[in-house]
Amino acid sequence: MNFPIILDVAIGIVVIYFITSLIMSFIMEYIIVRRNWRGEFLYDRLKEMFYSSQGGYYNLIEKVYRHPLVTKVQQYSYRKPENIQSHTFANAFMHVMTEIGKETELLENQSNIAEGKKAKPIGMSQNEYVDKAFQNDKYLDGDGKRIIESLFLQPPPADAKNDDENALTWRINNIEQWYADFQLRLDYLFKREVKWYIFIFSLLLCSLLNIDTLDIYYKLTHSAKLRDQMVLLGEEYASKTYIEIKTEKDSILKNMLNSIKYKMTYQLKTVRPGDTLLFNKILEETLNKTVESIDQSKVDLYKGATDLIGWTEVERTNVKNAINNFNSGFLYWLLKIIGILLSSFALMFGAPFWHEYLKSMLAIRKVIQPKGVVK
């Protein structure tokens, strides 16, 4: 097999990886949004960072999340916001620190009055209240206190030393910059957190659609027609931006989900309770229509690549033969498992990676084969 053919085979495999990665991306985004994983992950990391030994109400982050600036970005009251803008977080954080400082001063005056001492006059600047908050060990202790001290108590710039307003602005900028950097680190940590979920769902998807890398390789090496189809499909995807392709595929997947939801939910509601025969009939029709909807969506998603994937009649026959005669079918199962595992691992790289890789491979192909495909 010469190099141009090998390159075309590789392009075909990458096209399959790219389309399947887009589907996987849609599935993961759907699950992450529905389960609010990002919001919970952000909240848990912040709460752990600014840990308070008192816990509960006395957790600093709990008060920040209850601040109106933060609650306004929540879609629902029971869902943690997936993303908080750095300036929003910084302003809410400083306001909470001010409230803690006022609470600390009030408790001190109550204690002084109880002991018969003279109460201190109330009415400090916001910056002074922030300083006062450091005396409250219920909210600020451990590593969380050290983080805030490193941001607030380091030597301020010359123009902020004797000016409360400038010092307060300087502190807000510090916490805003810290939070922006923290979010960048958090994105990396979140991807590491969900990578094994991506692999598990990729394995299920590849098994369901029979995305078998070894089988795809075999079909492409033995069919010039399939190779040409995949190269044309790859050129079509390479000519579009990633966002354009993702929007197109997401639209197909959303329509499929809405169609399935309608068929599985609303049609079954029309059956009267106790009418078993009608229920079974409608259920069978609904399942058939659902399968048809999925098959049509698969064609729309993969276009000319549908011949390389899926459980065809030949594949089903091979599976039955392998089940009936395990000894002779051992090699079949081994190759099938390896092929699906290879595809599952490939999907973990993500659709943007495969899109860029596809464009690079097509650029190389144009240099090697400027006048057409070498047979």
Please identify, among 166, 189, 212, the residue that sits at the C-terminal boundary of a domain: 189
Q: 240 and 161: one domain? A: no
Residue 375 reports pLDDT greater than 60: no
- The model's pLDDT over 267-303, given as tens digits with 9 standing for 90+, comes to 656 656 665 666 666 666 767 777 777 778 888 899 8
d(CA 226, CA 13): 11
> In this structure, is residue 212 part of a structural domain?
yes
Q: Are residues 200 and 334 in the same domain?
A: yes
Residues 143 and 290 in one domain: no
Q: Give residue 202's pLDDT.
A: 95
pLDDT confidence band for 304 (50 / 70 / 90): confident
What is the tally of structural domains in the chain? 2
Taking the C-alpha atoms of residue 41 and residue 282, their distance in angstroms, rounded to an integer, is 42
Do residue 44 and residue 86 come from a single domain? yes
Quick one: pLDDT at residue 346? 96
Is 373 part of any domain? no
Model pLDDT for residues 152-170, shown as the tens digit of each residue: 766 666 555 556 677 788 8
**Segment 75-116, tens digit of pLDDT:** 777 788 888 999 999 999 999 988 888 888 887 777 777 777
The first and second tokens of residue 237, run together, are 């995807």
Among the candidates 189, 219, 234, a domain finishes at: 189
The range of the structural domain enclosing residue 337 comes to 3-34+196-368
Same domain, 78 and 120: yes
pLDDT digits (tens, 9 = 90+) for 114-152: 777 666 656 677 778 888 888 887 787 777 778 888 877
315 domain-assigned: yes
The answer on 260 and 301 residing in a single domain is: yes
Q: Mind giving me the DSSP string for 164-211?
A: HHHHHHHHHHHHHHHHHHHHHHHHHHHHHHHHHHHHHHHHHHHHHHT-
**Shared domain check, 106 and 9:** no
Does residue 375 sit within a domain? no
- Tell me, yes or no, whether 374 lies in a domain: no
344 part of a folded domain = yes
- Mark which of 162, 189, 216 sits at the end of a domain: 189
Q: Are residues 302 and 236 in the same domain?
A: yes
Assess if residue 74 is contained within a domain: yes
Contact 107, 135 (CB under 8 A): no
Q: Are residues 345 and 329 in the same domain?
A: yes
Q: Do 178 and 250 belong together in one domain?
A: no
Closest by alpha carbon to 45, among 80, 74, 95, 90? Answer: 80
Q: Which residue has the tokens 């966002």?
A: 243
Residue 295 placed within a domain: yes
Indicate if 185 and 261 belong to the same structural domain.
no
Same domain, 142 and 243: no
Could you give the C-alpha distances from 152 to 96, 173, 332, in angstroms and in order?
14, 10, 65
- State the amino acid at position 203 in one-letter form: L
Each residue of 205-258: pLDDT tens digit? 999 999 999 999 999 999 999 999 999 999 999 999 999 999 999 999 988 888
Query: Mean pLDDT score of the chain, rounded to an integer?
Result: 83
